[in-house]
Amino acid sequence: MKYCSQCAHPVSLRIPPGDALPRYVCDHCQTIHYQNPKIVAGCIPEWEDRILLCRRAIEPRYGLWTVPAGFMENGETVADAAARETLEEARAQVRDCSLYALFNLPHISQVYVLFRARLPRPEFGPGTESLEVDLFTEARIPWDRLAFPVIRETLRRYFADRRNGTFPVHTGDIAPPPGWRGNPA
Amino acid sequence: MKYCSQCAHPVSLRIPPGDALPRYVCDHCQTIHYQNPKIVAGCIPEWEDRILLCRRAIEPRYGLWTVPAGFMENGETVADAAARETLEEARAQVRDCSLYALFNLPHISQVYVLFRARLPRPEFGPGTESLEVDLFTEARIPWDRLAFPVIRETLRRYFADRRNGTFPVHTGDIAPPPGWRGNPA
């Protein structure tokens, strides 16, 4: 951020009076521009003994597999967002979203909120952000071609739960990749 | 938003190519400025048969009671944020945050993520955003002076769970107040 979105004057990164963290503050109109984490909403669509995965047609991780998920929009519930992403990425309508996992990725200021969801019929197809979409039994999950560590962790716990027949809500923190040099903003 | 935070030129509210929703788009550098929901992180600090509440010293809802909660910051986990807010608002250190509730407030684009947390000692005091802080048994909860419907709903479920001796993770949507005329952005 370089300029104030309210008055177009330059902003400075400094700690406002009474605050504890540096913020982008407008030197002209004094507006404080807060930046906050984003929610990535997604789901595990279930059909019989299989789950739906999408192969990414976009960066990052082009060509790798993931569950339908994406940034939550203003005006939605988290479950709305998960269902919308599934419709957009996999052209599939899910029902009965049930909270399954909340994972923190503090190094990139994201919170993943993932649901289990019911796919009433095995009807799906690639949306514009997917190369292909398919149903997978546990034995056929492409573990070495999953797009993100948070997806691997979610699916690992999911199949363990399925063997146990119980689905508690999971929480956890996902560490940055080795050698990570980014910043969380 | 009136001006681009990257180049200071005016922005327009329009649907970018390939998108489905109106965004603030810079007519000069073409940057798309996405706006997303915010997470409010908080907790129910427990000490013996009592919980900690804060009386607000700030608007909105000045003078009314709430659990410690506030906007999650970049670089935090949700539990980090809940513990930080408790330290700031109630000068209390909590331990063992355990996910308890996720509530959507789509009319204001907020998601509340609330934990149960352990207060190791009954040591607390008002931070700068609180008029007073105190421990309450269920019988003494100020039900008619709670700050927000989401807090009333959370505490109603919490004390019902306490009678049952089980604390499942709750989810739900909070409706806008009667006559609500705002917009979710």
Please indicate whether, in this complex, the C-beta atoms of B39 and A111 are within 8 angstroms of each other: yes
pLDDT score recorded for residue B20: 86
Compute the distance between CA of residue A149 and CA of residue A154 in angstroms, rounded to an integer: 9
**Six token digits for residue A99:** 């909270």
ipTM of the complex: 0.95
Q: Nearest CA to B141 among B52, B43, B48?
A: B52
- The full DSSP string for chain B is --B-TTT--BEEEE--TT-SS-EEEETTT--EE----EEEEEEEEEETTEEEEEEESSSSSTT-EE-SEEEPPTT--HHHHHHHHHHHHH----EEEEEEEEEEEGGGTEEEEEEEEE-SSS-----TTEEEEEEE-GGG--GGGBS-HHHHHHHHHHHHHHHHT--PPEEEEPPPPTT------
Model confidence at B39: pLDDT above 90: yes
Q: Distance from A140 to chain B by nearest Cα, in Å?
A: 31
| Contacts B73 to A, Cβ<8 Å | 21, 36-37
CA-nearest residue of chain A to B11? Answer: A5
DSSP states along A82-97 = HHHHHHHHH----EEE
With a CB cutoff of 8 Å and minimum separation 6, the contacts of A125 are: A90, A91, A133
> Tokens 């988290």 — which residue?
A78
Query: Cα separation of B168 and A66, whole Å?
Result: 28
Per-residue pLDDT of B105-131, as tens digits, reads: 999 999 999 999 999 999 999 999 999
Looking at residues B33-56, what average pLDDT do you find?
97
Residues of A in contact with B18 (CB under 8 A): 128
Residues of A within 8 A of B35 (CB-CB) are: 74
Position B95 scores a pLDDT of: 97
Residue A161: per-residue pLDDT: 98
Q: Where are the domains of chain A?
A: 1-35, 38-173
Q: Determine contact, residues B100/B107, Cβ cutoff 8 Å.
A: no
pTM attached to this predicted model: 0.96
Q: Examine the pLDDT at A185 and tell me if it is beyond 80.
A: no
Give the model's pLDDT for residue B18: 85
Look up residue A150 and give its two tokens: 């948070």
Q: What is the mean pLDDT of residues A61-82?
A: 98
Mean pLDDT of chain A: 96
Across the A:B interface, residue pairs with CB atoms under 8 Å apart total 118
| pLDDT beyond 70 at B185 | no
Residue A18: pLDDT band with limits 50, 70, 90: confident
Count CB-CB contacts under 10 A for residue A28.
12
For residue B171, which residues of chain A lie inside 8 Å, CB to CB? 79, 99
- What are the pLDDT digits (tens) for A46-58? 999 999 999 999 9
**Distance (Å, whole) CA A151 – CA A155:** 6
pLDDT in tens, A109-154: 999 999 999 999 999 999 999 999 999 999 999 999 999 999 999 9
CATH no., domain B38-173:
3.90.79.10
Fold of B1-35: Ubiquitin Ligase Nedd4; Chain: W; (2.20.70)
Give the Cα separation of B112 and B151 in Å (integer). Answer: 10
Instruction: State residue B183's pLDDT score.
Output: 80
